[in-house]
Structure 1
Amino acid sequence: MSITELYILDTYRARQHGDPTPPAPGAHDWQAVRELRDYRRFRAVVAGRPARGRVRAALARLLHGRPRPGC
């Protein structure tokens, strides 16, 4: 069964039982990617490694006046 077929079946079952419908497949993919990125940054800081990302790139732009490649 494909993801779409499972979603349609779950939606049908939810309507039969009066439950709220589940979110469509892919509706929260970007949120999951952001949470994974934040978790990896957190683990890096806890392990004593520098956290890479938007804040570091913004600080580099402020200090050096240009974006650093690879950040």
Structure 2
Amino acid sequence: MSITQQYFLDVHRAQRLGEVPPPPPGTHDWRTVREVRGHRLFRAVVAGRPAHGQLRRALDRRRRPRARAAC
């Protein structure tokens, strides 16, 4: 069963029972992404790591690989 089919089934059941229908799929996606990001920043602070700049450092490492030693 797809997400859309499950959603319509839940809406139909809510209407029959006189309840509030659930929000459509995808309504709270960006809020969830922000909450996950905030939780990652919180965990970084608690662990004693810098909370900002992690993505930029990772991209810089990928852009400028270390020089390999000649054997």
* Superposition misfits of 4+ residues, deviation over 3 angstroms: none
> What is the TM-score of this pair, normalised by structure 1?
0.74
How far the C-alpha of 1:70 sits from its partner, in A, is: 1.7
Percent identity, aligned pairs only, is 59
2:42 is the counterpart of 1:42 = yes
* SS across alignment from 1:50: coil
Gapped regions of structure 1 (runs ≥ 5): 54-68
Gapped regions of structure 2 (runs ≥ 5): 58-71
Cα-to-partner distance string for 1:1-42 (whole Å, 9 max, x where unaligned):
000000000000000001101000000000000000000000
State the Cα RMSD in Å: 1.6
- Max Rg structure: 2
> What is the TM-score of this pair, normalised by structure 2?
0.74
How far the C-alpha of 1:52 sits from its partner, in A, is: 1.2
